[in-house]
Each structure stands twice: as C-alpha cells, then as structure tokens.
Chain A
Amino acid sequence: MVVITTKKPVDEVLKVLKENDVRSLVVVSCGVCAALCQTGGTEGLKKWTEILEKEGFDILVGIVSEDVCDNRVMMKDLRKIDDSVKDADAILTLSCGLGVQSIVQVLSKKHPNKKVFVTNNTEFMGMTERIGRFRMRCLGCGDCLLNETGGICPVTTCAKALMNGPCGGMVDGKCEVGNYERDCGWVLIYNRLKAIGRLDLFSKLREPRDWSDSGHQREVIFR
C-alpha cells in the first residue's frame, strides 16, 4: 500500500510561503510513499532545493526521512536538526498529508509556533499496478465489504459508492462518470461473483452504510 501523492503547482506552494513571510526553511522529504510517487525522496528534495534557492529562499537543511508519518521516527530525525528547526521560519514537507500533520504534532510541544507547509496533494491509498500507475481501491471506510463483493470494493469502484448497483448510468459495463471509459464497479462485482459462483451475494439487498461512527477523529488503539 502506498499513500498516493501528486505535486501541487510550484507557484501555489511559493505563494503560500511568501504569504507567510517565510525566508528560511527546513525541508523534510518522505523516503517511502512520496519517493515512489516521485513527489518526495532524494530526487524531490533535490528539485525543491533548486527551485527554492532560485527563488531566494534560505535552506538551512534538507533531509530525507524514512517515515515522516511515524511520530517516533520524526521525533528522532527532527531532534538531530533541532538547531535548524529552531532557526527556520518554516518547515516544508514533501510528503502526504499524514507526514505534515505528524511533523506538526511532533513539534507541538517544543516549537508550537513553527509553521509547516506541504508541496503535495494526497490523492488516495493506492494499489500499485506498475511503477507510476496506482489505483484507488480503498477509502478506509471502516466496515470492509470485500468478503461480500468478491474482493472488489464498491466504495471506490462505483462512482456513487452505491450499495445496490449497478445504477441506470451503466452502459455496456461502463460508468456514466468519465464518459463511459471506466468500468462500472458493480459490473466488476457482478462478473467476479459470477465467476466464483456466488451470485447469491449479488442478489442480496444491502443496507445503506452506517455513518454513525464517522465524522469523529477516528483512531485505532490495540495496545
């Protein structure tokens, strides 16, 4: 699993830095998912360093971290460059949204006023088909239906996340969203359940999703 990120337009990022009166920066690049998506890693750090220096920003230090989204790792890595963190106007993060928030959280005690910005848009949890091609196949809905839908997720493959598809927008197995170019998720589910001899599951009237546990700050604690 990879958290898939894409690059924000450079101008958008520069504008945010300027609006926040940022002159000096610490750059933290993610060496895992963002590296795979070419939005972070060593390459990303190099590119952003060039861009920022050309724009006159002062880069105090740039690091590639193995787990930006892991508070413990971030704590350790940031401690090593604490002087620069202290002096920098802001931290620029080449990671997903989790990475940015991990840094904000880790710094919240020692440097509560430190600004943290991000260069990427976080797209989804991605399944890797090949290098450079990822597909959204899970939204982390918290109540996985895959055992009932032949291992194909209706939440992410159906444009309306329907529980009882296909809808009237399906034509020849394709979905009305995206100009009938993408497969209708519910036809994929139908084909799959048919193949494994479980059309009885396809015939089942499914209740709407239960959203009563959503909208909170979800967390998982198992120890």
Chain B
Amino acid sequence: MAEKKIYSKLGEMISKGEFVLTGELEPEKTCDLSHTIQEAKEMAPYVVAANVTDSPLAIVTINSMAASHIIQRETGLECVWQLTVRDCNKIGLAGQIMGAQALGLRNVLSLTGDHTNLGDVPEAKPVFDLDSATLVKLVREMVDTGKINDNEIEHPPTMHVGAAANPNADPMEAEILKIGRKAEAGAEFIQTQVVYDLDMTIEFLRAIQKYKVPVFLGIFPMKSYGIAKGFDMFVPGVDVPKDILAKWKSVKTNVSDKKEQKDTYDQLNYEFFKPFISELKSKNLLNGVHCMAVHYTRIFPKLNKVIKG
C-alpha cells in the first residue's frame, strides 16, 4: 500500500496518532461571518480544526464552503468543511470539491444531511443523488486517482474525507454495518454523534474498531440548564441523563451570581467529561474528541485538560 499522504494539520495529527480536539462552528442565515469568526478565534488555540456546518436541519444558512474558506483566511483555524448530499447531485458535489480545493480547504466531512422536509424551505427538491458513503468514495476517487468517472482532473484535489457515525443508533448493528460501508468507501476519520452513555459508547466503539478508522467522539458540554434541557428535548435520539439534568438544574436554582454560575457549569462539564474520556482513552478506543457545543467557546481551556492525560 502506498504511503498515506498528508494534506492538512488534522491529517497530520491523525497519522501521528496524536489525540485531537476539534470544535464546531455553525454559520447562520447571514452574509456576515463576524460572529462565527469571533468564535473561531476563541477556540483556535485549543483545537486542531473546527467543523463548519452545511445548513443543519435543512434550514438555509450561508454556504459552508464559503464560510470555511473565510474562517480559515481570517483566523488561520483549519476547517472541516461539512458537505451534505441533500442539495447537489454528483456533478454539483464534484464541482464543489474542486472549488473547495481551490479555496484552500483540506478536510471534508461527508454527510447525508437532514431532509428538506424538516427545514425552512420544505418545498425544495431533496436531491440525495449520492449518499454519505458514496460521497466519501467520490472524494477519494478524485483525490487518489485524480479522476472523476475516468476523466482526468487537471489539478486534482488533495484533501482528507471523514464520515459521521451514531453510537446511539438503535438497531446498533445496522449502524455498525453502515460504518463498514463508509470505511470501505475510504473514510479517513469518523466523527460521532453526541454521546452521554459510557457503556453504550464502549460497546459501539469496540464494534467499529475492526474497520480501523480513527474515531473522534462527539460530545456536547452544556453551557446552562436551559441548553441541557433543550438538547435533551429537541435532539432526537440523544438523551441527556436525568442526573446530569438535575445537577444543572440545581446550579440554575441555587447559584444566583452569574459569574459563579458560569464557573460552576464549566466545572460540572469538566467533572463529567474528564472520567468519561479518560476511560475511553485508557481502553484505546478513541483518537480524539469532537466538541459540538456551539457558542460555548469558553469551555475549551477546560476541554483541553479533559483530553490531556
């Protein structure tokens, strides 16, 4: 097998086997990215890269390729450009991959994307010409062979492609076999959906170890009780454990000083995630952590401590 090429900082960390921390940025329905850029700057010292979302929940936002490029240009923070198969056919996707390359993007995360039906333009045509596995395959074909459908690309893209996984999925075996297909397609890393259940996570990570794809575990530190409750209620398929909700609630009720409240939430997150991640690390099940808590950049110094040691 030819030696694995490295195209990005993230790719380099992965190939060196270093434990990585990645963040998430969620550009909104705006043509001005100053808020996102600000958040990118705040997390930049702590993360190797940040994901940039592609109209999550099918709610229209600024294009993720453009946003990724501007964030990289303005902050120097490397992006993991999220690309869904919802809005473009294979021609559009391939064109975007080349465009992203020209704009300096070197990591792409292949996603199915939430159905158009869920978003704010439900009348739009859902495309889904490819799926999350065959998009991985397309990227790898373009990068590794320099071709698309056997036609030469003059200057082919050079980027890493990752895929998503959901440890909460039930039936779990269906999800595991699907990850097998993504691995076969050539996924170079996996970022998971948010988890809170340690035993289930261990079972899941053990089951996918055979595919030998580095895994970054999705976590969602909760900035406040309101956010924790909202996450529990509105993110389908992920439950925030009752005892956590109770702890967060007691901070809201018992700590009146705003500054102290913030510090307490931060500390509670640290106390929850530290042993959680340490356990998985000690079992050699993880290659990194992907923090999906947007608008909560002040937690990164603490998260940095979570992943160290």
On A, residues with C-beta under 8 Å from B are: 159-173, 176-177, 180, 186-187, 190-191, 194, 199, 202-209, 211
Contacts and interface: CB of A to CB of B under 8 A. Distances in A.
B169 A166 contact: yes
Q: Which residue among B90, B117, B185 has the maximum number of chain A CB atoms within 10 Å of its CB? A: B117
Contacts of B181: 164, 203-206
A203 B180 contact: yes
Contacts, number: 88
A172 B170 contact: yes
Given A163-B134, A205-B185, A208-B134, A171 B237 contact: yes
Contact of A164 (B111, B114, B134, B171): B134
Interface stretch (B22-30, B68-76, B122-130): B122-130
Q: Which residue among A161, A162, A180, A208 has the maximum number of chain B CB atoms within 10 Å of its CB? A: A208
B50 interface: no
A191 B177 CA distance: 13
A199 B132 contact: no
A180 B236 contact: yes
A187 B177 contact: no
15 contacts: A160-B112, A162-B131, A164-B131, A165-B178, A166-B174, A176-B118, A191-B171, A199-B177, A202-B177, A203-B180, A204-B181, A205-B134, A205-B184, A206-B134, A208-B90
Contacts of A202: 174, 177
B173 interface: yes
B170 A173 contact: yes
A165 B129 CA distance: 13
A8 to B, nearest CB: 19
Contacts of B262: none
Nearest to B237: A171
Given A176-B114, A177-B118, A166 B178 contact: yes
A114 B128 CA distance: 41
A171 B193 CA distance: 12
Given A173-B171, A190-B171, A205-B185, A168 B112 contact: yes
B236 A164 contact: no
A171 B114 CA distance: 13
Nearest to B164: A168
A203 B134 contact: no
A176 to B, nearest CB: 6
Contacts of B131: 160, 162-165, 167, 208
Given A171-B236, A176-B236, 9 more contacts: A160-B131, A168-B111, A172-B237, A176-B118, A187-B171, A187-B174, A205-B133, A208-B130, A209-B129
B8 interface: no
Interface in B171-198: 171, 173-175, 177-178, 180-181, 184-185, 193
A123 B133 CA distance: 31
Interface residues of chain A: helix, strand, loop or mixed (majority) = loop
Interface in B98-125: 111-112, 114-115, 117-118
User: How many of chain B's residues touch chain A, expressed as a range?
Assistant: 20 to 34
Given A187-B171, A205-B181, A205-B184, A169 B134 contact: no
B105 to A, nearest CB: 22
Contacts of B236: 171, 176, 180
B82 interface: no
A120 to B, nearest CB: 22
A207 B134 contact: yes
Contacts of A206: 134, 181
Nearest to A168: B166
B112 to A, nearest CB: 4
A178 to B, nearest CB: 8
A-B pairs with lowest CB-CB distance, top 9: A171-B237, A167-B112, A190-B174, A164-B133, A205-B181, A160-B128, A164-B131, A162-B131, A171-B236
Contacts of B118: 176-177
A131 B133 CA distance: 40
A207 B131 CA distance: 9
B175 A166 contact: yes
Contacts of A204: 181
A211 B173 CA distance: 31
Interface in B33-91: 86, 90
B143 to A, nearest CB: 18
A48 B180 CA distance: 56
Given A176-B236, A199-B177, A207-B134, A169 B170 contact: no
A204 B177 CA distance: 9
A207 to B, nearest CB: 7
Contacts of B237: 170-172
A195 B133 CA distance: 25
Q: Which residue among A168, A205, A209 has the maximum number of chain B CB atoms within 10 Å of its CB? A: A168
